[in-house]
Structure 1
C-alpha cells in the first residue's frame, strides 16, 4: 500500500457542496496509490482562522498517522500565502507533504520543496509590502482631499453616544438582548455601557 493520506475539502458558503471535490480527490488518491486514512470537509471562508477540520488534519499529521494531505488546490488549504507557508513548515517537521491535484507537491525536505518554499516566502513578503503601500497611498489621498484621519477632539465612541438611551431602556425594564437589537449594537456593548454607568454612579 502507498502513502497514508487525509483528504481535505473546503467550500466557502453553506449553499456550496464538497461532493465534487471529494469525488475528484478520491479518484486522485486511487490513481496515485494513496491509502486514504480519513476524509475531512469544511464550510468556511478562505480567510477564516478557526477551521476545526483543518486542525484535525494537523493533529493526524502530528500523530504521524498520515504522510500526505490531499487537496484539489492549495487555496483550499491555505488562508494566505503566509499561512500556507507556515503550515507547510509545520507539516514538514512531521514529514507530511501537501499534495494538490494541480500537480504541485510540497515536501520541504527536498530541494524542489525548499525552492518552492523560498518562492512562497518571497510572494508573501511582496503581498505584505503591497498591502502596506496601498494603505499608505490611501491615507495620503485622504489627507490630500482634506479628510481628517483618526478620532478628532470632541468625538465620542458610539457606545458613549448611546449611553443615555441604554440606561433609559434599562430603567424601563428592557432586556439587554432587546436593547442590543433595538439600537443595533452587541449585547456585550450594552453590558459594558451599563457597567461603566454603574461604576461612574458609585463614585
Structure 2
C-alpha cells in the first residue's frame, strides 16, 4: 500500500509563488511512489505564528489521513528550532513523518530520529537562551540611556483622568459599585480615588 502524503508549500511574501515548490514536491512524490492526498500553499513569513494552512495539514495528521508531510526544506515548515521540535513531536504522536525533498526524513520513533530530535531540542534551548540574553542586554542598554520600564510609581493615567467624574458621581449619591460599572473601573479604583481626594482635603486644612 502506497504511503499517503500531504504537500506543504510556503513563501514569505505575496509577490512570490509556491508553484516551483509544488512542482518539485509532486515530482519527488511520483519518484518515491507516494500518493498525494492534499496540497497546501501558504504565504507567511518565517516568524509569523499564524499559519492556518499548516494547521490544516496537522489536522490531517491527527485524523490519521496521511502518513507523511512533504516539504522542500525544513525552513518552509518550522518557524524556529523550537517550533520544529514541537510540531515533530505532534506528528510523532500520530505516527506521521516529516520528509524534506532532499530525502531527509524525520521519524522520531527510530533511533536516528530520536537522536536528531535530541540535538534539535538542545539547539532550541540554546536559541531560547540567546533570545533571553538579547532581551536582557537590550533592556540594560535602554536603562543606561535613561529609559524607564513599567508603570511609574503613582502614575495612574486612567484613574486621574476619570477622578473628576468619580467625585461628581459620589456627590450625587452614586454607590462605588455603580460608579465602577458606569466608568468601567474596578470598585477598588473608585475607592482609591475618593480616599486620595479626602486625604488631600485633610492635608490642605492642616
CA displacement, residues 143-193 of structure 1 (integer Å, 9 cap, x when unaligned): 333333333346566xx5xx89xxxxxxxxxxxxxxxxxxxxxxxxxxxxx
> How far did residue 198 of structure 1 move?
5.3
Cα distance in 2 for residues equivalent to 1:66 and 1:119: 26
**Secondary structure of 1:41 counterpart:** strand
Q: Runs of 5+ in structure 1 lacking a partner?
A: 165-195
Query: What is the RMSD computed on CA atoms of the aligned residues?
Result: 2.5
Q: Which has more radius of gyration? A: 2
- The answer to whether 1:42 aligns with 2:42 is yes
**Secondary structure of 2:149 counterpart:** coil
Cα distance in 2 for residues equivalent to 1:49 and 1:84: 12
**Structure 2 counterparts to residues 175-186 of structure 1, below 5 A:** none
- The answer to whether 1:82 aligns with 2:66 is no
2:137 equivalent in structure 1: 137
> How far did residue 101 of structure 1 move?
1.2
CA displacement, residues 16-42 of structure 1 (integer Å, 9 cap, x when unaligned): 111011011111111222111111111
1:8 equivalent in structure 2: 8
| TM-score relative to the length of structure 2 | 0.72
1:115 equivalent in structure 2: 115
> How far did residue 70 of structure 1 move?
0.1
Where do 4+ consecutive residues of structure 1 move more than 4 Å?
153-157
**Structure 2 counterparts to residues 44-193 of structure 1, below 5 A:** 44-153=44-153
**Secondary structure of 2:103 counterpart:** coil
**Secondary structure of 1:146 counterpart:** coil
Cα distance in 1 for residues equivalent to 2:150 and 2:102: 45
Distance 1:23 1:140, change over 3 A: same
Cα distance in 2 for residues equivalent to 1:13 and 1:128: 26
- The answer to whether 1:27 aligns with 2:11 is no
Cα distance in 2 for residues equivalent to 1:7 and 1:116: 22
Cα distance in 1 for residues equivalent to 2:84 and 2:41: 18
Cα distance in 2 for residues equivalent to 1:101 and 1:25: 7
**Secondary structure of 1:48 counterpart:** coil
> How far did residue 4 of structure 1 move?
1.1
